[in-house]
Amino acid sequence: MTLIKSISGIRGTIGGLQGDNLTPLDAVKYAAAYGSWVRQQRNKENYKIVVGRDARISGNMVQQLVMNTLVGMGIDIVDLNLSTTPTVEMAVTMEHADGGIILTASHNPKQWNALKLLNNKGEFLNATAGQEILDLAEGGTIEFAEVDQLGKITNNDAYIDLHIDEILDLPLVNVNAIKKANFKVVVDGVNSTGGIAIPLLLEALGVHPVKLYCTPNGEFPHNPEPLREHLGDLMKLVKEERADFGIVVDPDVDRLAFVDENGEMFGEEYTLVAVADYVLRNNPGNTVSNMSSSRALRDVTEKYGGTYTASAVGEVNVVAMMKEKNAVIGGEGNGGIIYPELHYGRDSLVGVALFLSHLAEEKISVSELRSTYTSYFMSKKKIELTPELDVDGILEKIASKYASEEITTIDGVKIDFAENWVHLRKSNTEPIIRIYTEAKSQEEADALADRFIQEIEILK
């Protein structure tokens, strides 16, 4: 059982001992610290925070604890109930709220949950703000409201519809072309809120959705990380239904992957590449993705005369770099699309709409679209951490060993070889070391990852 406290939020497993897991006491503790931080940002009489959750089993319990802790601090709550991470992000700005909390452990299994924390722009907190909240939780003075100043909870179930309306109004979302194409698409909602939001979006675009695991009960039918090895049912149903393609999202709908009309993976890394290709064709400019993302985005960006930049891993780091470089599209290679024209957050809904627009305008199949991009192959592996493991020391030794290569150390260690690369980093969300590699063949990528796993094992 685990509790991970980081700038990415508070993430842990349900049950067990306080301080070791995400227990009710821990949920209250960190919600109170966040509420106190929100009140420190601006001196005003009334504060408002938007709260939403994915469909995981513990969600309602954790949400009630979090909301009522904030109510006890005199903060008003807009309760979105079942929602998506990008929807909550957009609701913060639409409500002119002081912050937001999404209760989701993203792609983690059902025993996990988390508090993902937003600022008043509906964006994830930077490292400084995250540390301030951790400090408040561990030793700060937190003041609660007197009885006449308690906050109020207002329910609002309209925001998924409002989110979709905003997407339909985007100039690059070609609603007419999509409707004329008469697409049929299978949706794997992993029994979470993607099973609500994605079919609603498709129906608004005139697309016929075939629902697979779209009951939002939190009983994940497979590992919720949208990787090939977890998506056999989706790949099979796309072929059986003779669908144009398949869509899968993670439980909070900020990661997006596609399956082509033949039931083959489009490639999680190529979600961003394909959407960026469409955006850049219509609006040339710069792009950003994190250091663990494919070189294919750089290729597409340079084709349209733009500049590609790699950031440290983490949505907040990608967003900061996108603002600095004035990027027109960006995101993460795990299927995260950030389209600033809508908002600065990973958003599977806008990714689906732009991808459909791309297909409809080009009048080609998903497999044909994939064949237009340079093929890079990635391997994503991990090593479980043990308490005695000196990760920083291991990474320093590897960086020293390969000092003659192109080394980047802003986030773990990335080694760029001439024909491939490897990125080693400690996860912010799980007790693991991530080993990402990319090469010109899957065999080469896997072999490179295995080689570095062996090197780490030797150094342990």
Neighbours of 140 (CB within 10 A): 16
The reported pLDDT for the residue numbered 1 is 53
- Among residues 30, 164, 9, which one has the least CA distance to residue 102? 9
Tell me phi and psi for residue 36, to 5 degrees: -65, -40
| Catalytic residue list contains 106 | yes
**pLDDT tens series, the chain, 460 aa:** 578 887 668 999 999 999 999 999 999 999 999 999 999 998 899 999 999 999 999 999 999 999 999 999 999 999 999 999 999 999 999 999 999 999 999 999 999 999 999 999 999 999 999 999 999 999 888 999 999 999 999 999 999 999 999 999 999 999 999 999 999 999 999 999 999 999 999 999 999 999 999 999 999 999 999 988 999 999 999 999 999 999 999 999 999 999 999 999 999 999 999 999 999 999 999 999 999 899 999 999 999 999 999 999 889 999 999 999 999 999 998 899 999 999 999 999 999 999 999 999 999 999 999 999 989 998 989 998 887 788 889 999 999 999 999 898 989 999 989 889 999 998 876 778 999 999 999 999 999 999 999 999 888 7
Are 13 and 111 a contacting pair, CB within 8 Å?
Answer: yes
Collapsing DSSP states into helix, strand and coil, what is residue 341?
Answer: coil
Q: Which CATH superfamily is domain 377-459 in?
A: Alpha-D-phosphohexomutase, C-terminal domain (3.30.310.50)
In whole angstroms, give the CA distance from residue 79 to residue 50.
6
Enumerate the CATH 3.40.120.10 domain ranges in the chain, comma separated. 3-157, 162-370
In whole angstroms, give the CA distance from residue 18 to residue 454.
36
- Among residues 444, 443, 267, 446, which one has the least CA distance to residue 435? 446
Helices (H), 205-326: 232-240, 268-282, 296-303, 315-325
Enumerate the CATH 3.30.310.50 domain ranges in the chain, comma separated. 377-459
**3-157: what fold?**
Alpha-D-Glucose-1,6-Bisphosphate; Chain A, domain 3 (3.40.120)
Q: Which CATH superfamily is domain 162-370 in?
A: Alpha-D-Glucose-1,6-Bisphosphate, subunit A, domain 3 (3.40.120.10)
Are 444 and 300 a contacting pair, CB within 8 Å?
Answer: no
> Strand order of the sheet with strand 75-82?
3-6, 9-13, 112-118, 99-103, 47-53, 75-82, 153-155
Of the residues 8, 36, 58, 106, which is catalytic? 106
Buried b (16+ CB within 10 A) or exposed e, 61-95: ebbebbbbbbbbbbbbbbbbebbbbbbbbbbbbbb
Does pTM top 0.85 for this prediction? yes
